[in-house]
Protein backbone atom coordinates (compact mmCIF):
# COMPACT_ATOMS: atom_id res chain seq x y z
CA UNK A 1 0.00 0.00 0.00
CA UNK A 2 1.33 3.42 -0.91
CA UNK A 3 1.19 5.83 1.98
CA UNK A 4 0.22 9.35 0.93
CA UNK A 5 -0.72 11.04 4.18
CA UNK A 6 0.48 14.59 4.61
CA UNK A 7 -1.16 17.55 6.23
CA UNK A 8 -1.00 21.16 5.13
CA UNK A 9 -1.69 24.35 7.05
CA UNK A 10 -0.28 27.81 7.30
CA UNK A 11 1.97 27.82 10.32
CA UNK A 12 1.65 24.07 10.89
CA UNK A 13 5.28 23.86 11.96
CA UNK A 14 4.29 25.52 15.21
CA UNK A 15 2.35 22.40 16.06
CA UNK A 16 5.47 20.31 16.31
CA UNK A 17 7.59 22.71 18.34
CA UNK A 18 8.17 22.46 22.09
CA UNK A 19 4.92 22.38 24.05
CA UNK A 20 4.10 25.76 25.53
CA UNK A 21 3.46 26.29 29.20
CA UNK A 22 4.26 24.32 32.29
CA UNK A 23 2.72 21.03 33.33
CA UNK A 24 -0.69 21.21 34.93
CA UNK A 25 -0.66 21.21 38.70
CA UNK A 26 -4.09 19.58 38.86
CA UNK A 27 -5.68 16.71 37.00
CA UNK A 28 -7.12 18.11 33.74
CA UNK A 29 -10.52 16.86 32.60
CA UNK A 30 -11.12 16.27 28.90
CA UNK A 31 -14.68 15.88 27.69
CA UNK A 32 -15.10 13.69 24.62
CA UNK A 33 -18.24 13.85 22.49
CA UNK A 34 -18.73 11.48 19.55
CA UNK A 35 -21.29 10.39 17.01
CA UNK A 36 -21.86 6.73 17.78
CA UNK A 37 -20.64 4.95 14.66
CA UNK A 38 -17.86 2.33 14.32
CA UNK A 39 -15.34 4.98 13.25
CA UNK A 40 -15.62 6.64 16.66
CA UNK A 41 -13.98 3.60 18.23
CA UNK A 42 -10.94 4.08 15.99
CA UNK A 43 -10.77 7.74 16.93
CA UNK A 44 -11.03 7.00 20.66
CA UNK A 45 -8.28 4.37 20.51
CA UNK A 46 -5.77 6.50 18.60
CA UNK A 47 -6.57 9.65 20.54
CA UNK A 48 -5.99 8.01 23.94
CA UNK A 49 -2.84 6.27 22.72
CA UNK A 50 -1.44 9.58 21.49
CA UNK A 51 -2.38 11.37 24.70
CA UNK A 52 -0.73 8.63 26.74
CA UNK A 53 2.42 8.98 24.65
CA UNK A 54 2.56 12.63 25.72
CA UNK A 55 2.24 11.73 29.40
CA UNK A 56 -1.55 11.85 29.86
CA UNK A 57 -2.25 8.65 31.77
CA UNK A 58 -5.94 8.10 32.42
CA UNK A 59 -6.73 8.31 36.13
CA UNK A 60 -3.24 9.58 36.95
CA UNK A 61 -2.56 12.68 34.88
CA UNK A 62 -5.84 13.13 33.01
CA UNK A 63 -9.52 12.38 33.50
CA UNK A 64 -11.87 11.71 30.57
CA UNK A 65 -15.61 12.30 30.44
CA UNK A 66 -16.71 10.27 27.41
CA UNK A 67 -20.14 10.76 25.82
CA UNK A 68 -21.55 8.99 22.74
CA UNK A 69 -24.93 9.60 21.13
CA UNK A 70 -25.21 5.83 20.51
CA UNK A 71 -26.19 6.45 16.92
CA UNK A 72 -28.92 9.03 17.65
CA UNK A 73 -27.60 12.51 16.83
CA UNK A 74 -30.60 14.11 18.52
CA UNK A 75 -29.02 13.27 21.88
CA UNK A 76 -25.87 15.30 21.22
CA UNK A 77 -27.10 18.69 22.55
CA UNK A 78 -27.98 17.15 25.92
CA UNK A 79 -24.66 15.33 26.11
CA UNK A 80 -22.75 18.49 25.19
CA UNK A 81 -24.64 20.42 27.87
CA UNK A 82 -23.61 17.78 30.41
CA UNK A 83 -19.94 18.28 29.57
CA UNK A 84 -20.30 22.06 29.76
CA UNK A 85 -22.00 21.78 33.16
CA UNK A 86 -19.08 19.68 34.40
CA UNK A 87 -16.77 22.58 33.46
CA UNK A 88 -14.31 20.29 31.71
CA UNK A 89 -11.03 21.89 30.63
CA UNK A 90 -11.47 20.89 26.99
CA UNK A 91 -14.02 19.19 24.75
CA UNK A 92 -12.80 16.96 21.91
CA UNK A 93 -15.44 16.16 19.29
CA UNK A 94 -15.68 13.56 16.55
CA UNK A 95 -17.72 14.45 13.46
CA UNK A 96 -19.66 17.56 12.55
CA UNK A 97 -22.86 17.03 14.63
CA UNK A 98 -20.80 16.61 17.80
CA UNK A 99 -18.78 19.76 17.08
CA UNK A 100 -21.98 21.69 16.39
CA UNK A 101 -23.55 20.52 19.65
CA UNK A 102 -20.43 21.46 21.62
CA UNK A 103 -20.34 24.90 20.03
CA UNK A 104 -23.96 25.50 21.01
CA UNK A 105 -23.29 24.32 24.56
CA UNK A 106 -20.35 26.61 25.35
CA UNK A 107 -18.52 29.68 24.10
CA UNK A 108 -15.87 29.46 26.81
CA UNK A 109 -14.57 25.89 26.99
CA UNK A 110 -11.99 25.16 24.25
CA UNK A 111 -13.15 22.68 21.60
CA UNK A 112 -10.89 20.51 19.42
CA UNK A 113 -12.51 18.90 16.40
CA UNK A 114 -10.89 15.51 15.84
CA UNK A 115 -12.67 15.41 12.49
CA UNK A 116 -15.38 17.65 11.05
CA UNK A 117 -16.57 18.18 7.51
CA UNK A 118 -15.89 21.66 6.09
CA UNK A 119 -16.15 23.62 9.36
CA UNK A 120 -16.31 26.93 7.49
CA UNK A 121 -19.26 25.94 5.30
CA UNK A 122 -21.14 24.48 8.28
CA UNK A 123 -20.53 27.63 10.34
CA UNK A 124 -18.29 26.11 12.99
CA UNK A 125 -15.36 28.48 12.42
CA UNK A 126 -14.74 31.78 10.66
CA UNK A 127 -11.85 30.50 8.54
CA UNK A 128 -9.30 27.71 8.42
CA UNK A 129 -6.27 29.95 8.96
CA UNK A 130 -7.93 32.03 11.70
CA UNK A 131 -10.73 29.98 13.25
CA UNK A 132 -11.53 32.54 15.96
CA UNK A 133 -13.66 31.77 19.00
CA UNK A 134 -13.13 28.64 21.04
CA UNK A 135 -12.91 25.99 18.28
CA UNK A 136 -9.99 24.55 16.32
CA UNK A 137 -8.85 21.11 15.19
CA UNK A 138 -8.96 19.08 12.01
CA UNK A 139 -11.21 19.44 9.02
CA UNK A 140 -12.14 16.42 6.98
CA UNK A 141 -12.89 16.91 3.31
CA UNK A 142 -15.65 14.33 3.05
CA UNK A 143 -17.93 16.45 0.86
CA UNK A 144 -15.20 17.12 -1.70
CA UNK A 145 -14.10 13.50 -1.50
CA UNK A 146 -17.63 12.46 -2.45
CA UNK A 147 -17.15 14.13 -5.84
CA UNK A 148 -13.95 12.21 -6.46
CA UNK A 149 -15.48 8.99 -5.15
CA UNK A 150 -18.24 9.22 -7.76
CA UNK A 151 -15.60 9.49 -10.46
CA UNK A 152 -14.15 6.22 -9.17
CA UNK A 153 -17.63 4.67 -9.11
CA UNK A 154 -18.02 5.68 -12.76
CA UNK A 155 -14.74 3.95 -13.59
CA UNK A 156 -15.75 0.88 -11.58
CA UNK A 157 -19.22 0.70 -13.21
CA UNK A 158 -18.75 2.14 -16.72
CA UNK A 159 -22.26 1.16 -17.80
CA UNK A 160 -23.96 2.70 -14.73
CA UNK A 161 -26.02 5.89 -14.76
CA UNK A 162 -27.66 6.35 -11.33
CA UNK A 163 -26.34 6.58 -7.76
CA UNK A 164 -28.21 6.69 -4.46
CA UNK A 165 -26.94 9.10 -1.79
CA UNK A 166 -27.60 7.97 1.78
CA UNK A 167 -27.56 11.18 3.83
CA UNK A 168 -27.72 11.56 7.61
CA UNK A 169 -30.45 14.23 7.58
CA UNK A 170 -29.95 15.62 11.15
CA UNK A 171 -26.23 16.14 10.48
CA UNK A 172 -25.51 19.71 9.25
CA UNK A 173 -22.91 18.15 6.97
CA UNK A 174 -25.70 16.46 4.98
CA UNK A 175 -26.29 19.58 2.89
CA UNK A 176 -22.72 20.01 1.59
CA UNK A 177 -22.43 16.23 1.23
CA UNK A 178 -25.45 16.07 -1.08
CA UNK A 179 -24.31 19.18 -2.96
CA UNK A 180 -20.94 17.64 -3.74
CA UNK A 181 -22.52 14.31 -4.63
CA UNK A 182 -24.71 16.20 -7.09
CA UNK A 183 -21.71 17.94 -8.63
CA UNK A 184 -19.76 14.72 -8.94
CA UNK A 185 -22.73 12.94 -10.49
CA UNK A 186 -23.35 15.75 -12.98
CA UNK A 187 -19.70 15.78 -14.01
CA UNK A 188 -19.91 12.05 -14.71
CA UNK A 189 -23.36 12.15 -16.34
CA UNK A 190 -25.08 10.23 -13.57
CA UNK A 191 -28.42 10.87 -11.90
CA UNK A 192 -28.67 11.09 -8.09
CA UNK A 193 -31.37 9.69 -5.81
CA UNK A 194 -31.06 11.49 -2.43
CA UNK A 195 -32.06 9.16 0.41
CA UNK A 196 -32.34 11.14 3.68
CA UNK A 197 -32.13 9.09 6.88
CA UNK A 198 -33.61 10.71 10.00
CA UNK A 199 -32.83 7.87 12.44
CA UNK A 200 -30.51 4.89 12.24
CA UNK A 201 -33.42 2.47 12.70
CA UNK A 202 -34.73 3.62 9.30
CA UNK A 203 -31.84 2.02 7.43
CA UNK A 204 -33.45 -1.40 7.05
CA UNK A 205 -36.60 0.02 5.46
CA UNK A 206 -34.51 2.36 3.33
CA UNK A 207 -32.60 -0.53 1.81
CA UNK A 208 -35.79 -2.48 1.22
CA UNK A 209 -37.08 0.52 -0.74
CA UNK A 210 -33.79 0.83 -2.60
CA UNK A 211 -33.98 -2.84 -3.58
CA UNK A 212 -37.32 -2.31 -5.34
CA UNK A 213 -35.70 0.12 -7.77
CA UNK A 214 -31.98 -0.26 -7.18
CA UNK A 215 -29.48 2.37 -8.31
CA UNK A 216 -26.19 1.19 -9.75
CA UNK A 217 -24.47 2.09 -6.47
CA UNK A 218 -24.97 4.05 -3.25
CA UNK A 219 -22.64 6.55 -1.61
CA UNK A 220 -22.89 6.77 2.16
CA UNK A 221 -22.45 9.85 4.36
CA UNK A 222 -19.74 8.99 6.91
CA UNK A 223 -21.74 9.86 10.06
CA UNK A 224 -24.26 7.09 9.38
CA UNK A 225 -23.67 3.66 11.01
CA UNK A 226 -21.42 2.55 8.18
CA UNK A 227 -20.87 -1.04 9.34
CA UNK A 228 -24.62 -1.66 9.32
CA UNK A 229 -24.92 0.06 5.94
CA UNK A 230 -22.19 -2.19 4.54
CA UNK A 231 -24.02 -5.28 5.81
CA UNK A 232 -27.34 -4.16 4.30
CA UNK A 233 -25.69 -3.33 1.00
CA UNK A 234 -24.14 -6.78 0.94
CA UNK A 235 -27.50 -8.42 1.70
CA UNK A 236 -29.22 -6.60 -1.14
CA UNK A 237 -26.21 -6.88 -3.47
CA UNK A 238 -25.84 -3.12 -3.95
CA UNK A 239 -22.36 -1.61 -4.45
CA UNK A 240 -21.75 0.79 -1.56
CA UNK A 241 -18.97 3.35 -1.23
CA UNK A 242 -18.05 5.93 1.37
CA UNK A 243 -15.40 8.49 2.23
CA UNK A 244 -14.54 7.31 5.72
CA UNK A 245 -11.63 5.19 6.83
CA UNK A 246 -12.61 1.62 7.58
CA UNK A 247 -15.72 1.39 5.39
CA UNK A 248 -14.14 -1.06 2.95
CA UNK A 249 -12.44 -2.95 5.80
CA UNK A 250 -15.85 -3.38 7.45
CA UNK A 251 -17.47 -4.91 4.37
CA UNK A 252 -18.23 -1.90 2.20
CA UNK A 253 -17.20 -2.17 -1.43
CA UNK A 254 -14.97 0.89 -1.65
CA UNK A 255 -13.52 3.68 0.48
CA UNK A 256 -11.86 6.87 -0.69
CA UNK A 257 -10.36 8.25 2.47
CA UNK A 258 -7.76 10.21 4.36
CA UNK A 259 -5.48 8.69 6.99
CA UNK A 260 -7.70 9.19 10.00
CA UNK A 261 -5.18 7.65 12.39
CA UNK A 262 -2.77 10.51 11.63
CA UNK A 263 -5.57 13.06 12.06
CA UNK A 264 -6.53 11.67 15.45
CA UNK A 265 -2.93 11.82 16.60
CA UNK A 266 -2.76 15.45 15.50
CA UNK A 267 -5.96 16.23 17.40
CA UNK A 268 -4.23 14.89 20.53
CA UNK A 269 -1.31 17.27 19.88
CA UNK A 270 -3.76 20.16 19.70
CA UNK A 271 -5.42 18.99 22.91
CA UNK A 272 -2.03 18.93 24.62
CA UNK A 273 -1.20 22.46 23.48
CA UNK A 274 -4.54 23.82 24.67
CA UNK A 275 -4.27 22.10 28.04
CA UNK A 276 -0.90 23.83 28.39
CA UNK A 277 -2.28 27.26 27.65
CA UNK A 278 -2.64 27.72 23.88
CA UNK A 279 -5.80 29.43 22.60
CA UNK A 280 -7.96 27.69 19.98
CA UNK A 281 -8.26 30.93 18.03
CA UNK A 282 -4.48 30.91 17.52
CA UNK A 283 -4.31 27.35 16.16
CA UNK A 284 -5.17 27.06 12.44
CA UNK A 285 -7.44 24.28 11.23
CA UNK A 286 -5.47 21.38 9.74
CA UNK A 287 -6.54 19.66 6.52
CA UNK A 288 -5.48 16.42 4.85
CA UNK A 289 -3.96 16.65 1.39
CA UNK A 290 -3.34 13.02 0.41
CA UNK A 291 -5.84 10.18 0.13
CA UNK A 292 -6.21 6.45 -0.49
CA UNK A 293 -8.52 4.36 -2.63
CA UNK A 294 -9.35 1.04 -0.95
CA UNK A 295 -11.36 -1.68 -2.69
CA UNK A 296 -12.84 -4.81 -1.10
CA UNK A 297 -12.56 -7.64 -3.64
CA UNK A 298 -14.22 -10.08 -1.23
CA UNK A 299 -17.33 -7.91 -1.17
CA UNK A 300 -17.19 -7.49 -4.95
CA UNK A 301 -17.19 -11.26 -5.40
CA UNK A 302 -20.06 -11.66 -2.95
CA UNK A 303 -22.30 -9.24 -4.85
CA UNK A 304 -21.24 -10.48 -8.30
CA UNK A 305 -19.24 -7.44 -9.38
CA UNK A 306 -16.19 -7.64 -11.65
CA UNK A 307 -14.52 -4.22 -11.89
CA UNK A 308 -12.32 -3.36 -14.88
CA UNK A 309 -8.61 -4.12 -14.40
CA UNK A 310 -7.75 -0.46 -15.09
CA UNK A 311 -9.84 0.56 -12.10
CA UNK A 312 -8.22 -2.02 -9.82
CA UNK A 313 -4.80 -0.78 -10.89
CA UNK A 314 -5.64 2.61 -9.39
CA UNK A 315 -6.42 1.22 -5.93
CA UNK A 316 -3.91 1.85 -3.16
CA UNK A 317 -5.12 -1.25 -1.34
CA UNK A 318 -7.20 -4.26 -2.39
CA UNK A 319 -8.78 -6.40 0.31
CA UNK A 320 -8.82 -10.03 -0.81
Give the integer Cα–Cα distance in Å for 8 and 57: 29
CATH of the domain at 275: 3.40.50.2300
Flag whether 169 is in a domain: yes
DSSP state of 223: T
Flag whether 37 is in a domain: yes
Flag whether 1 is in a domain: no
Model confidence pLDDT, tens digit, residues 183-200 = 999 999 999 999 999 988
Q: How many helices (H) and strands (E) does the chain have?
A: 10, 14
Are both 60 and 161 inside the same structural domain?
Answer: no
Are both 162 and 230 inside the same structural domain?
Answer: yes
Are both 164 and 217 inside the same structural domain?
Answer: yes
Give the integer Cα–Cα distance in Å for 224 and 217: 17
pLDDT, position 14: 43
Are both 77 and 136 inside the same structural domain?
Answer: yes
Alpha helices in the chain (DSSP H): 38-53, 76-85, 96-105, 142-156, 174-187, 203-212, 226-235, 260-275, 297-302, 309-314
Segments in the chain below pLDDT 70: 1-25, 38, 141-142
pLDDT, position 16: 45
Give the integer Cα–Cα distance in Å for 290 and 176: 21
For residue 114, the enclosing domain spans 7-140+258-288
Model confidence pLDDT, tens digit, residues 135-183 = 999 987 667 788 889 999 999 999 999 999 999 998 888 888 999 999 9
161 three-state secondary structure = coil
Flag whether 83 is in a domain: yes
Are both 224 and 315 inside the same structural domain?
Answer: yes
First to last CA, the chain: 13
Structural domain count of the chain: 2
Are both 208 and 235 inside the same structural domain?
Answer: yes
Are both 300 and 219 inside the same structural domain?
Answer: yes
pLDDT, position 263: 84
Are both 17 and 132 inside the same structural domain?
Answer: yes
Among 33, 32, 25, CA closest to 51 = 32
pLDDT, position 9: 42
Are both 236 and 266 inside the same structural domain?
Answer: no
Are both 250 and 178 inside the same structural domain?
Answer: yes
Are both 199 and 264 inside the same structural domain?
Answer: no
The long-range contacts involving 54-63, CB below 8 angstroms and separated by at least 24 positions, are: 54/19, 54/268, 54/269, 54/272, 56/28, 56/272, 61/24, 61/27, 61/28, 62/27, 62/28, 62/29, 62/30, 63/27, 63/28, 63/29, 63/30
Are both 207 and 151 inside the same structural domain?
Answer: yes
pLDDT, position 113: 96
Q: Which residues pair with 318 in a beta bridge?
A: 295
Flag whether 2 is in a domain: no
Flag whether 69 is in a domain: yes
pTM of the model: 0.73
Q: Does the CA dihedral 84-260-140-234 come out positive or negative? A: negative
pLDDT, position 320: 92
Amino acid sequence: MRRRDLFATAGATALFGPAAGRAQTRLPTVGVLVVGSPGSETFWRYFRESMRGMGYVEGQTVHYEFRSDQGEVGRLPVLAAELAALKVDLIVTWFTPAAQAAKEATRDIPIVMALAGDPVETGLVASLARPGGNITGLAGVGAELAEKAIQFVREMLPSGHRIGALANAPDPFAKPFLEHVGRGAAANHWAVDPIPIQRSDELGNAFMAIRRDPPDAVIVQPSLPTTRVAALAMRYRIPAVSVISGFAENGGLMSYETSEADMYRLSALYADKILKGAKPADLPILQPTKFELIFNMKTANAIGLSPPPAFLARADKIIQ
